[in-house]
Amino acid sequence: MNKDTIAVGLDIGTTKIVVMIGRKNEYGKLEILGVGKSKSLGVHRGVVNNITQTIQSIQQAVLEAENNSNYKIHDVVVGIAGQHIRSIQHSDYISRSNAEEVIGDADIEKLIGQVHKLAMLPGEEIIHVLPQEFKIDGQSEIKEPIGMYGGRLESSFHVVVGQAASIRNLGRCIKSSGLELSGLTLEPLASADAVLSQDEKEAGVALVDIGGGTTDLAVFKDGIIRHTAVIPFGGNVITEDIKEGCSIIEKQAELLKVKFGSAWPGENKDNEIVSIPGLRGREPKEISLKNLSKIIHARVVEIIEQVYAEIKLYGHEESKKKLIAGIVLTGGGAELKHIKQLVEYITGMDTRIGYPNEHLAGDSHEELSSPIYATAVGLVMNSIRNNTKSATPLLELKKIEEEQNYFEAKQAEPEETEDKQQNNTVVESSESKVRKSFFDKYIEKIKEFLDNAE
């Protein structure tokens, strides 16, 4: 692992935008160097619907993260979600010219590249091609085909698809914020990296990330992703229901939900009442906590039932596909009181709340181990795996700038010596350290796609 790897994750949510800078410490844990957070304006149900406001929110979060960490951010791994995401199962194969040669990375790449050429519906783009099990010359259930012999290599794939326009808009926001896009990851996959253990993925688990605008689902079995879905409801619709049901403003509805809300109405007694200040000198409003819980309960049940329908669609009721590790809840919605009990009651599956603290260094700020930051932590982990240098210490940048100024002044002098030419080379190599090259063919493909789309 490259010690200089500085990773940056950008989580563009419906309610908040989080920029997180991190690196791995000597114990293999994630050390968070800085976090920036801003209110998300211009995003609805995970999809950008106002470019200018989204750019402002991103820049605000980036600035805060840079000030907190003393690092300058160059590029980011971005999470993608939203109601336009769908997934399909697909099988494909390649015939190898020489069956006597062992199967290598190039063969796998060729097979994945073939899937990337799949004809999609108009306006759709493939985001992820995730191989599941491989087959070599009819021999099935092969998890790792590299190093084996065979003429026909086939595999089943989980293909994640999204609207090209939404991806393009996201790319435009990042570019206009002065950043490069170094990776694009489906948000439930990033959250899964942060909160699930390998044992859970092997046993079978459904990760449910309840965000502000959407609820994301990722199902794992035998260590492989089996099903993904995005449900276009999240914490915001609960707030909206409270606002309408109690005739109060949105800010008060959100506060009520966070401070007094419960997904289980039986918990509150009839005489438990909270008083809300009236608007502009009007009388204060008295709201029964039992009624509040009933409103929350009705909407949460609806969200959970849709999630459970997706889990059934995967085939959880078949004995071979049973999710032994049950459900893991994460995201801001997982902090709602008694939601764990309600999920267990509706689905009959074991449930726990997923915190990203397992991967964080021991001295990390307590706030960062909240389920709210699960996606951001997962995106940083994704960036670390790609050995990116997404940010540079401000001191190093200053030093490079001084060197540059010095050699520019030297260049203005009439005589150019051999020594000076060597020194110029040193500066160029320092600069090239700052500029990050794209590490992955897949990312080049996305960049090319975004450029062509402009």
Rg for the chain (alpha carbons), in Å?
25
Mean pLDDT of the chain: 85
Is the torsion defined by CA of 310, 311, 316, 317 positive or negative?
A: negative
Q: How far is CA 90 from CA 46, 107, 219, 312, in A?
A: 26, 18, 17, 19
What's the token pair of residue 214?
A: 């959407």
Which of 103 and 83 is assigned the larger pLDDT? Answer: 103
What does the pLDDT read at residue 147? 92
Residue 284 has pLDDT above 90, yes or no: no
| Residue 80, strand partner residues | 186
Is it the case that residue 4 has pLDDT exceeding 90? no
pLDDT digit string, tens, across residues 172-195:
999 999 999 988 899 999 999 999
Picking from 239, 200, 198, the residue whose alpha carbon sits closest to that of residue 329 is: 200
Q: What are the CA-CA distances from residue 403 to residues 23, 213, 389, 425 (Å)? A: 27, 48, 21, 12
Percent of the chain past pLDDT 70, that is, above it, reads 86
Asked whether the predicted pLDDT for residue 1 surpasses 50, the reply is: no
Q: Residue 399 pLDDT > 70, yes or no?
A: no
Per-residue pLDDT at 121: 86
- The DSSP annotation for 356-394 comes to GGGGB-TTS-GGGGSGGGHHHHHHHHHHHHTT-B-EEEH
Q: What is the pLDDT of residue 63?
A: 95
pTM (2 decimals)? 0.82
**Quick one: tokens of 281?**
């000198």
pLDDT of residue 420: 45
For the cut 70, the answer to whether the pLDDT of residue 432 exceeds it is: no
- The dihedral built from the CA positions of residue 211, 217, 220 and 225, taken in this order, carries a sign that is negative
| Mean pLDDT, residues 128-135 | 91
Instruction: Give the per-residue pLDDT at 416.
Output: 47
pLDDT score of 5: 81
pLDDT tens digit string along 226-275? Answer: 999 989 889 999 999 999 998 889 999 999 999 998 998 877 777 788 88
Q: What angle do CA 362, 187, 35 make, to 5 degrees?
A: 40
CB atoms within 10 A of CB 187: 30
Residue 410: pLDDT band with limits 50, 70, 90: low
pLDDT at 403: 67
Residue with tokens 């059934």: 312
Helix (H, G, I), strand (E, B) or coil at 93: strand
Task: Give residue 429's pLDDT.
Answer: 41
Q: What is the average pLDDT across 351-359?
A: 91
Is the CB of residue 153 less than 8 Å from the CB of residue 145?
Answer: yes
At 387 the pLDDT is 77
Q: Which tens digit of pLDDT belongs to each residue from 87-109? A: 899 999 999 988 889 999 999 99
DSSP bridge partners of 44: 47
Q: What is the pLDDT of residues 30-72, one digit of tens each?
A: 999 999 999 998 888 888 899 999 999 999 999 999 999 989 9
Buried b or exposed e, range 158-184, using 16+ CB within 10 angstroms: bbbbbbbebbbbbbbbbbebebbbbbb
